[in-house]
Chain A
Amino acid sequence: MERLTPVEIRAPGEWQIATVTEVIDETPRVKSFRFDVPMWMEHLPGQHYDVRLTAPDGYRAERSYSIASSPLDVGQVELTIDLLDDGEVSPYFHEVVQVGDQVELRGPFTSYFVWRGETPVVLVGGGSGVVPLMCMLRHKRRTMPELDMRLVYSVRYPDDVIYRDELGDDAALTYTREAPDGWSGHTGHIDAELMRGPADGAGLAFVCGSNGFVEAASDLLVELGMGPSAIRTERFGPTS
């Protein structure tokens, strides 16, 4: 309990040069990158960093990525990056970046889609929308393991499961297109049957994924009795 994150953080906002210390293959299309961050500041689970790439001709591209690591990892952040076919920052990370590389970034930013210790809480993630939720779950497990936090996680195919080894009894998984052989759990899109248990009694929900996923999930939570103001959402479009 003594390691709750602070209530509010004012990020330095300065661009800084971080060093990649580890690259983790999560799925065929998702990698996590761990950075040493010189002007590191403790983040709230759910916050993001901005990343900026600069080409030799001065061309620049900026994107935002959710933090996956607990703020207990002092001096470090882990960003999990989904490869987008027509993107320009995610392909750079997937195809070029290796351990020892330097990357300009700044953060952590924004304090709405953040978990500050509220409980019971339900997390609902679609695809790489699970990233900021895993940050919350990892931090919870290391600070207050007894606290009631449940994850509902929707993926398309068996290959798409990010953080596979970290999904325990507190995670309800569904495969929407194809389940692995021998799978006896839920299949198809999230529905009331899947959500009812995890959402039962929850006073707060964090929902992250594509816009369609977030709309469906938050409508379900409202149907199950949650107030709209208790549902915090973060959406991503087919961009980057």
Chain B
Amino acid sequence: MANFISRGFTRRRQTPEELVDRLPPGQYFERGFPVLTAGPTPHLSLGSWVFRIDGMVGGQREWNWEEFNQLPSENVPCDIHCVTKWSKLGTSFRGVSVDTLLDGVDPKGAYTMAYSYGGYTTNVPLADLTGGKAWVVTEHEGEPLPREHGGPARLLVPHLYFWKSAKWVAGLRVLDHDEPGFWEQNGYHIRGDPWKEERYWND
């Protein structure tokens, strides 16, 4: 199979040369920002929005929208990779580092389940969220995060496939075991590293 050539196929899509090395295997360069969601887009009111850290923790934390926006935030320049094959390179978000959110929380487990308004879930090992690798973001390229892209706030874990970056995120539940979230129960890989092309269950 390694030697298989598709008869008459040649490259048609040009990736800017300086970006070629930033494209994981099987991905293509996309200038837009496609929307992919498993259900209708939820309508959330900022007045009732809260973000929680709960589960197996020494101390549960909760912020309302106003409190959340007072947390120290940072710009996050990043590349994002969707399991449906598109990658958006050189984009940016702004938000609060998960390290900041976990400060004083004392997690008792090594796994988490991110959960969202609307019922979406996705599992991420704690090690993939800490050490400056993940954020809860409220802006995209200088603008408030649009609703269709997960606004008011989404998780951002750019080193994993983008389904891990839960839209409309409502909290992180710390667990002592790994457990498949929504897409992980429905055929997608339990971890989802784009550089290892971990798309589906058996990859």
Contacts and interface: CB of A to CB of B under 8 A. Distances in A.
A218 B40 contact: yes
Given A13-B203, A229-B119, A232-B38, A215 B148 contact: yes
B9 A11 contact: no
A141 interface: no
A231 interface: yes
Contact of A88 (B1, B12, B119): B12
A145 interface: no
A234 B35 CA distance: 10
A17 B3 CA distance: 12
Given A59-B11, A62-B85, A233-B38, A53 B6 contact: yes
B90 interface: no
B186 A110 contact: yes
B37 A112 contact: no
A11 B186 contact: no
Question: Which of B7, B26, B37, B203 gathers most chain A CB within 10 Å?
Answer: B7
B188 interface: yes
B5 A55 contact: yes
B63 interface: no
A109 B34 contact: no
Q: Please tell me the size bucket of the interface on B.
A: 35 or more
Contacts of A113: 38
B5 A54 contact: yes
Contacts of A144: none
Contacts of A240: 85
B24 to A, nearest CB: 11
B79 interface: no
A11 B84 contact: no
A96 interface: yes
A17 B4 contact: yes
B6 A103 contact: yes
Contacts of A11: 187, 200-202
Interface in B144-203: 148, 182-183, 186-188, 199-203
Interface of A: 10-13, 15-17, 50, 52-57, 59-64, 86-88, 91-92, 96, 101-104, 109-113, 211, 215, 218-219, 221-222, 228-229, 231-240
Given A55-B9, A111-B187, A211-B148, 11 more contacts: A16-B1, A55-B10, A62-B27, A88-B11, A92-B6, A96-B9, A104-B4, A112-B186, A211-B35, A232-B38, A233-B40
Interface of B: 1, 4-13, 25-28, 30, 32, 34-42, 84-86, 118-119, 148, 182-183, 186-188, 199-203
15 contacts: A53-B6, A54-B4, A54-B6, A55-B9, A63-B85, A92-B12, A96-B7, A96-B8, A112-B183, A211-B148, A222-B40, A235-B36, A237-B32, A237-B36, A239-B86
